């Protein structure tokens, strides 16, 4: 996840469309398949981000064979979401669910994605952003343990430990509200304070959150990377960690389950992507 900002030139990297039409009916006609799932990534200049999103796409496809799963970006990488939707329309797809690979509400979710979907000829429905959700907390916990977070803390360790939840940041207060909720869920899971902090566009910064925790006697502080994929902000936030820093969420199995959860939720609502608010 990256902060709200104007579009930048794209890295010319394309992802082919995948998926098959539904099985043939008794008279040889194709039965309508399920609505296509379009993962909507932000896009990044860091090539690791595109590789991570592709790995997540593959994991989602593996969990639900037969579901057409595609990728479109808001900026920086090809295919852009508008191009993916145009290609789906050209192939005869009539319905798609857009699942943002974003962790909270903000300008991208409320304006950019609906704006890009507005010109599509096929019917599109917008899923909510990935966060907040318990499956994100499951992923965050796993990444922290992988980085060295103890599975069991002693009482003394608990009194001196904490986590900074490092997110991209947004000017939209709904985004901060979503990040705060994730922080509370993670704090409940870990049994230590979890403070949300931001790389850009919001306060506190990761550095100021770390200083505040140190002043409160919390010296064993981990930085939990609340980013879907590696990139500049994730790297900068991790560099401030006084103890350990976790990897971004990435293609964790729980992330693939969450994508499908959001897809299924969108199918039970009437949230047209071109009119999302």
| CA–CA distance, 230 with 271 (Å, rounded to integer) | 30
Q: 133 catalytic, yes or no?
A: no
Of 42, 108, 141, 252, which is the active-site residue? 42
Around Cβ 130, how many Cβ atoms within 10 Å? 25
**Residue whose pair of structure tokens reads 């082919």 in the numeric block:** 16
**Residue-wise DSSP of 137-177:** HHHHHHHHHHHT--SS--HHHHHHEEEEEEE---S-HHHHH
Contacts of 273 (CB under 8 A, 6+ apart): 98, 113, 114, 117, 124, 125, 126
Helices (H) and strands (E) in the chain, counts: 10, 8
**Residue-wise DSSP of 82-106:** HHHHHHHHHTT--EEEEEE--SS-S
Around Cβ 150, how many Cβ atoms within 10 Å? 12
| CA–CA distance, 161 with 179 (Å, rounded to integer) | 20
* Active site residue ranges: 42
């Amino acid at each position: 996840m990256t902060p709200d900002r104007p579009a930048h030139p794209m890295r010319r990297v394309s992802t082919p469309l995948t998926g098959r039409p539904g099985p043939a009916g008794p008279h040889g006609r194709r039965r309508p398949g399920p609505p296509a799932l379009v993962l909507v990534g932000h896009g990044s200049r860091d090539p690791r981000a595109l590789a991570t999103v592709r790995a997540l796409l593959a994991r989602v496809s593996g969990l639900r064979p037969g579901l057409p799963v595609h990728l479109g970006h808001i900026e920086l990488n090809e295919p852009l979401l508008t191009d993916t939707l145009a290609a789906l329309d050209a192939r005869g797809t009539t319905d798609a669910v857009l699942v943002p690979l974003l962790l909270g509400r903000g300008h991208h979710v409320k304006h950019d994605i609906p704006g890009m979907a507005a010109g599509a000829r096929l019917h599109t429905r917008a899923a909510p952003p990935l966060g907040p959700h318990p499956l994100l907390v499951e992923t965050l916990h796993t990444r922290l343990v992988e980085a060295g977070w103890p599975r069991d803390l002693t009482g003394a360790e608990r009194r001196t430990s904490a986590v900074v939840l490092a997110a991209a940041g947004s000017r939209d207060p709904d985004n901060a509200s979503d990040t705060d909720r994730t922080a509370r869920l993670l704090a409940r899971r870990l049994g230590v304070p979890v403070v949300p902090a931001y790389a850009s566009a919001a306060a506190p910064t990761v550095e100021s959150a770390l200083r505040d925790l140190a002043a409160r006697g919390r010296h064993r502080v981990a930085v939990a990377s609340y980013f879907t994929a590696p990139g500049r902000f994730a790297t900068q936030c991790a560099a401030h960690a006084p103890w350990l820093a976790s990897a971004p969420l990435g293609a964790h199995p729980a992330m693939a389950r969450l994508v499908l959860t959001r897809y299924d939720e969108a199918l039970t609502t009437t949230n047209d992507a071109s009119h999302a608010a």
